[in-house]
Amino acid sequence: MVVLTVVRIFRSNFNDMAYKRKTSKEKSDSDNLELKEPEAVYYTSPKNSQWNVYRGGGSASLPNNYIERSITLLGMETVKPFDEVKNVNDFIDCIREGVPKKALDNLIDIAGITTGEIANIIRTSDRTLRRYTAKQKLNPEQSERIIELAKLYSRGEEVFGNLDAFKEWMSTIIIALGSKKPKEFLDTSLGIDMLMNELGRIEQGIFA
C-alpha cells in the first residue's frame, strides 16, 4: 500500500510538472506572437466614362498632371502648340495662337456647360458661336477663358475624384462663396481663380 501510494504521488507530481512545462511553453509562444494590423485599403473614385472620348476611346491612362490633363479635356493632345504644354506658362502660346472651336465643343460636352452659358462666359452670343466652324479659332481673350475653364474642370476632377461629383458641386449653392453657385463665377478670370483657391481648400480638408 505504501509503495502504491508513493507511485501515485510520483505520477501526480510528474503530470503536474509536465502540465506546467506545457503551459509555460504555450505562454512563451504567445508572448512571441506579433500583432499585425490589417493592410490599409485605399478607395479611389473611378474616372468618369466621358474621359474616354478625350483619350480616343483607348485604354491608356490619363496624365497625372492636371495641366496636361486639361489638354486632354480639350482634345488637343496632338495639336500644336498644345502638344508642347508642360506648365502654366506654356499656355501663353496657345492663347496667342487661338483655341479652335473644336476644343470649345469638347469642353462643352465633358463639362456639361450649355452653349448659352459658354457664350456668356466668353462674351459672345449663342448665335455667333453656333456659326463658328470646328477649325475656326477664338480670339485671345476667349481662348484664355476656355483654357482657364479646362484647367478648372481638370483640377476639380482631381480634387473630387470624378467629374460628376465636381459638376454637382459647381451647381450647388456654397455658403463660402456668398451663398452662390460656383458656376456663377466662370465669366471672369478672377472668379475662376477664386474657385481654384477654393478647390485647394477642399483638398486640404477645409470643406466649403
Confidence of residue 138 (pLDDT cuts 50, 70, 90): very high
Residue 151 has pLDDT above 90, yes or no: yes
pLDDT of residue 69: 87
Top pLDDT among 52 and 116 is at 116
**What one-letter code names the amino acid at 206?**
I
pTM for this entry = 0.69
Q: What average pLDDT is seen over the chain?
A: 78
Residue 159 has pLDDT above 90, yes or no: yes
> pLDDT tens across 7-57, in order?
444 455 545 555 455 454 444 444 444 434 333 232 233 444 444 444 444
Confidence of residue 6 (pLDDT cuts 50, 70, 90): very low
Top pLDDT among 119 and 207 is at 119
Answer yes or no: are the C-beta atoms of 39 and 57 closer than 8 Å. Answer: no
Cα dihedral across residues 50, 70, 77, 43: positive or negative? negative
Classify the phi-psi angles of 58: left when phi > 0, otherwise alpha if psi is within -120 to 50, otherwise beta. Answer: beta
Peptide bond preceding 38 in cis form (omega within 30 of 0)? no
Q: Which helix (H) or strand (E) holds 110?
A: helix 101-111
**Average pLDDT of the segment spanning 60-66:** 62
**How far apart are alpha carbons 35 and 48 in whole angstroms?**
40
Q: What percent of the chain has pLDDT over 70?
A: 68
Cα dist. 201→60, 105, 156, 166, 208 in Å? 30, 30, 12, 14, 8
End-to-end CA distance of the chain: 90
Residue 82 has pLDDT above 90, yes or no: yes
Residue 171 has pLDDT above 90, yes or no: yes
